[in-house]
Structures are given as structure tokens and as C-alpha cells.
Structure 1
Amino acid sequence: MNRPAVFFDRDGVLNEDTGYLYEQANFKWTAGAREAVKSVNDAGYFAFVVTNQSGVARGLYKEADIGALHIWMSEELAKIGAHIDAFEYCPHHPEGSIELYRTSCTCRKPEPGMITKIMNRFPVDSARSFLIGDKFTDIEAANGAGIRGYLFEGPNLQHFVNSHLSTG
């Protein structure tokens, strides 16, 4: 049975964008972020994270650092009974300093690859699903995947999500 989903961008939506974030010590949730994820869970939607992480391609941190941060985020969300169903990230950048990750790919937003990869793994009702991002590249990725995209500019993610859950 297909379910609607909310795709969250990470930096700038779930947490404050401090640039190349990979350490929990520098992580700060945006206002209402954890509660927004719980609202999505409680509404019966899937909750996914799709995030460009070019810091890997730039040699600033490793994929293992992203995984560790996402595990920590999951543990923090669990404290209020919330969860993310899947995290997807793109470690690539066409100008990366690490050759393995120096590429143009279909997963780096504005391309829709991360979203479509999740939609191929989970029974997502795309007609009722949407993405919340803080950049127009996020919205382009959503449109490319055939879902709606909403630009989050603050101040409270839970209020923003709840306004779209009621209509979406």
C-alpha cells in the first residue's frame, strides 16, 4: 500500500546550515525540526532525508562521518518518538578534490536521483508527497522526481510542515 512521504533537505531545513556540517558538536536543530518529523510520522507519512554532502568530494570529511551524524540524529529523534525512514546523501561534486567523488551525477540536487532512489525502494504515493528544501535546487529536484517542492525560509519547521500536511 502506497503512502505519502515528506522528503526533508538536511542543512538549512532540519538543522542550521553552518557549512560542511559533519560533527554532532556543531549540529543545531532548526526550531520545530524534531517536532516536524514527529508530525510527519504521526500523519502516517514516510519521512526521508535527501542531502547534498559535497564535503566528502572536497576532502573535508568522510562518508563514515555522515553516517555517524545520521545515526546520532536518529537517536535524538527517537527521544521524542520520531524517526526518519531513510537517509540519502550525495557525496559527489564535479570539482571535488577527491578523485573517487569528482563527478557529475544524477543524485546531486538539482538532479532528482536521491528522491527517485528512495521512491524505488519504498511504496511512496508520489501524488501526495512533497519535499521541503531551503534552496531552489531542492525544488528543482522535487519537480524532476514528480513531487511538489516547498521552500522553507523559517522560522518554525513544525508549523511549516503542519500547514502542508493538512493540504498535501
Structure 2
Amino acid sequence: MSRAGVLLDRDGTIIVDTGYVGSVDRVELLPGAVEAIAALNAADIPVVVVTNQSGVARGLYGVHDVQRVHAHIDEVLAAAGARVDMWLFCPYHPDGTVPEYARVSADRKPAPGMALAAAQALDLNLAASWVVGDSPVDVGLARAIGARPIFIGCATTDPQVRSVPDLAAAVQLILGPESDEPSLLDESAAMRFPAARYESADLFAQDYTAEIGRAMASVDLGEVERAAKTLNAAYDRDAAVFACGNGGSASIANHLMCDHVKGVRVGTDLHTRVTSLSSNMEILSAIANDIGYEAVFEFQLQSLARPGDVLVVVSSSGRSPNIVRALEWAAAHEMHTIALTGFEGGPARTLANVSVHVDCTNYGVVEDAHQACMHLLAQYVRQSRMSSSMVAAQVF
């Protein structure tokens, strides 16, 4: 059964951040950190450390130095009856001086690579998990994977991010023994799909198919109607439509462009202007490298979009910073917005003018439902521009 876990940053969360800690002699455990990790161990909650170590790419120390630091911390923890279940670090940085490590990596926070690896290795349910750290990239990681962030440091301006003074306070919040806050254990007890291991693919397929049906049944069809009207009205006035998403959602955004540029023209007089902001790797990587990944969609809209245009965002969690920023920019510049979301919907669900929400906590199922919603909207728009006899003569 998938379980909730806690993903911890290292420097500034577990040990004192003195800048590029690459040797054992520079390791200093923060007060209360050992006891906090031991408390998570006692609650049978997996503890994973996910840390960016660009010092490797910058030539300040090597991969083996990082591993020795982690082995030393393991020894200190073990002496107190505590443990880290998995250590993960990213040695890459695009500005590095060591050629082997001087590149962009999907493991570097806030990208989700390390978290996804931990989820696969330890069977974690990331949507029920927490990310604890002292940097905005830790908050970004939490949003990228649909987890709940806890920020160590001064209170943030984001009401959805909880702030605490240290790791001990974060663990107290997670376990919630003497707090009015809902505890991690209570929330992770909710049934999710899959809720247990399947021994045969046919049974898994049977239940997976049923979960897709349940997820699609949760969609508010009134919002689907509003989304269709928004798209048709945009095409009537020759407005542009932009789509964006991350990961699997990026493929849905790209597919939307295909179906709304090429597909809708078959048998109709439509000549739409639809662009996926997720499709151009050159511009995506340039913006991400020079400005930040959270700006990759907003920056493009600043150049391409005009008032009255439409933005369609696809985000399973609805929390991705680049999605939220794109919606906020669109709202401030008189664009119409449609969001396809899942899980709890995140900020995207409330920021968008139209919210096509899938009530489901399985990423694959949410994305399948989003793909279906994308297809049905494209096919509805296409057939709405035809006569009944023409519809009957076409293949959809």
C-alpha cells in the first residue's frame, strides 16, 4: 500500500548551512533535528533527504565527498536510534565548471526527479506526503509533486505554505499530537487508488478502468459547457488560445494544440490560432535557465498574448508555480482562463474563470481524464461547426 513520507532538505534543515558543506568536519547537526527524525521513524513514516549539491558541478567537492557527509550523518543518527531511509542528491548545475555535471537536470529541485525516484523506491504516495525545507525551491518541489510544503524560516506570504522555526516544529506539525492541525497520519489514512498491491494485471486494469469512470463522473459538466463556450467564442472573434502544462500535462497541452489547429479544420471552416507554451524546448530551457522554471509560461504570455485571448492550463495538482503565475498574469491582462485540475485543485482551481476539476488522487487517472476532457472539447467544437448530415459523414 502506498504510504505518505517526509522529504527533507539537508542544509538549513538537518544541518547548519554554512555554504557548500562538502566535508565531514563542516557538518553540524541543527538542534532538535536528530530527535525530530527519530520521531518520524517511531511513527513509521519514511524519511527521505533530497538535496541540491551544486558544489559538485562547481568543482568544490566530489560525489564521494557528498556520500561521506551522508554516511557521517547516518552514524550520528544511528547513535541516537534514528535513521534516514533514503539519501538523494543532485550534483548537476547548468552553470557548473565540471563538464560531467554542468547541465540541466530533472533531479535538481524544484524539479521532481528525486521525489519521483523516492516514491518508486519506497512506494510513497507523494500527494499525501510533506516536503520540509528552508528554501523556495523546496516549496516548488512540493507543488511540483502535489505534496504539502512546510517552510523553515520566517513566515511566507503564501497562505498555503506553513512556516515553522525548525525541523522539530515541522515534525510536531506533521504528527499533530498536540495541535489542532490535521496530522499526516490522519490524512494519509484516506483510501486511494491503488490501496493495495495487485498480483495480476487484469484485476488492476479492471479497477483502474473503474477509477477512470469514477473520476470522469466527478467532473462538473456545467464547467465543461462553459469551457466549450469560452473556446468557441474565442474562435468566433479570432482570439488566440494558449495551453500549458508540466510533465504528462505538457503532452496534453501539446495534444490540445494538435487537435485544435489541425483536427477542428476537418469538415469545418475553422482556422484557429492555438499555441502550446510547453512545446518549444529551446525557449523553455532558456527561460528556465536565465530566469527560473516558475516563469516559463508567464514569460511567453508576456510576448505572445493579448487581452481577450484564452489560456488553458493543465495541472494535476493545480499547485505548480509556473501554472499559478501564468494564471495570475492572464487574469491581470484580461485573458479568459480554463484550468484542468485534479487532487484538491490547488490555486489553479480557484484562479481560473472555468474549472474542469477531476476529483481523483491518482496522477495517471487524473491525466487520463484530462486527456478525455481535452478530446471531448476539441470534438465538440469541431462538430458544432457542422450540419447534422456533415457530422454523420465524418470520422471523429
3-state DSSP class of the match of 2:97?
A: coil
The number of residues matched between the two structures is: 168
Residue number in structure 2 paired with 1:89: 89
Residue number in structure 2 paired with 1:55: 55
Residue number in structure 2 paired with 1:30: 30
**Quick one: percent identity of the two aligned structures?**
37
Residue number in structure 1 paired with 2:172: 162
Tell me the TM-score normalised to structure 1 length: 0.95
Distance 1:108 1:157 in 2: 22
Residue number in structure 2 paired with 1:123: 123
Distance 2:128 2:144 in 1: 15
Distance 2:127 2:20 in 1: 33
Contact 1:93 1:104 in 2 (8 A): yes
Q: CA deviation at 1:146?
A: 1.9
Amino acid paired to 1:116 = L
Distance 1:15 1:65 in 2: 16
Higher Rg: 2
Residue number in structure 2 paired with 1:21: 21
Residue number in structure 2 paired with 1:107: 107
Point out 4+ residue stretches in structure 1 off by more than 4 angstroms: none
Amino acid paired to 1:161 = V
| Unpaired segments ≥5 residues, structure 1 | none
3-state DSSP class of the match of 1:149?
A: strand
Residue number in structure 1 paired with 2:138: 138
Amino acid paired to 2:168 = Q
Go from structure 1 to structure 2 and tell me whether the alpha carbon gap of 1:96 and 1:53 turns closer, same or farther (over 3 Å shift): same
Tell me the TM-score normalised to structure 2 length: 0.41
Higher relative contact order (CA 8 A, sep 6+): 1
Higher helix share: 2
| Unpaired segments ≥5 residues, structure 2 | 154-163, 177-182, 185-396
Cα RMSD after superposing both structures: 1.2
Distance 1:114 1:54 in 2: 14
Q: CA deviation at 1:161?
A: 1.1
Distance 2:130 2:167 in 1: 14
Q: CA deviation at 1:105?
A: 1.0
Distance 2:122 2:166 in 1: 28
Contact 1:34 1:77 in 2 (8 A): yes
Distance 1:43 1:127 in 2: 19
